[in-house]
Amino acid sequence: MMNMAEDYDYLIKIMLIGDPGTGKNTLILNNASGYFAEDYKMTIGVDFHTKRIELKTSDGSKRCVLQIWVPTEQIRFKYLRSRYYLSALGVILLFDLTNHLTFDNLPIWIKEVKDALKYEVPILIAGNKCDLVDQRVVAKNEIDQFTHDNHLHYIEISAKTGEGVEESFQTLTRLMVEDINKKR
């Protein structure tokens, strides 16, 4: 049996956050098991998942294990959420491309991350439900302006079809590993 330290090069905690109904649990379920849940189930407390990423770098391949924490988005548990952020090295912040309010709330989530962590971490903004082209209400230029103004990375995904999902985890992992190596 392999020693845990030999099984990966990086063990990294990330947070997956966003308004209710943006697709956080679907993203995890579909990505991990290929199962797509049509009905929405709100997180109570925190859900925890792991994902293995093989990251290609200039000095070879790195094995990364992501600990993905999905805290409740309910406002009454905001004080608990702040504790879940501790030791996180990155964030995927989801919004729904078919619901403008979830985009409008991004600054609230970003402030929560910054207040909870007190240190900078990569934040990847992920616009979910890109498969619902006819229902899209958040314009690409609006997203580009927001991410540019806030120095954030952006990707469009579909938790339902899997489009962009692997790329989102790869992108965030690469940003976090770069940060870790800069601090060494």
Nearest C-alpha neighbor of 17 from the set 99, 162, 123 = 123
The pTM for the full model equals 0.87
**CATH assignment of the domain containing 47:** 3.40.50.300
pLDDT 10s digit of each residue in the chain, 184 long? 345 556 899 999 999 999 999 999 888 877 654 433 444 444 445 777 889 999 988 888 999 999 999 987 655 555 666 788 899 999 999 999 999 999 999 999 999 999 999 899 999 999 999 999 999 999 999 999 999 999 999 999 999 999 999 999 999 999 999 999 888 7
Domain that holds residue 55: 4-183
Strand partners, 156: 127
Give the C-alpha separation, 163 to 167, whole Å.
8
Domains in the chain: how many in total? 1
Nearest C-alpha neighbor of 42 from the set 57, 25, 28 = 25
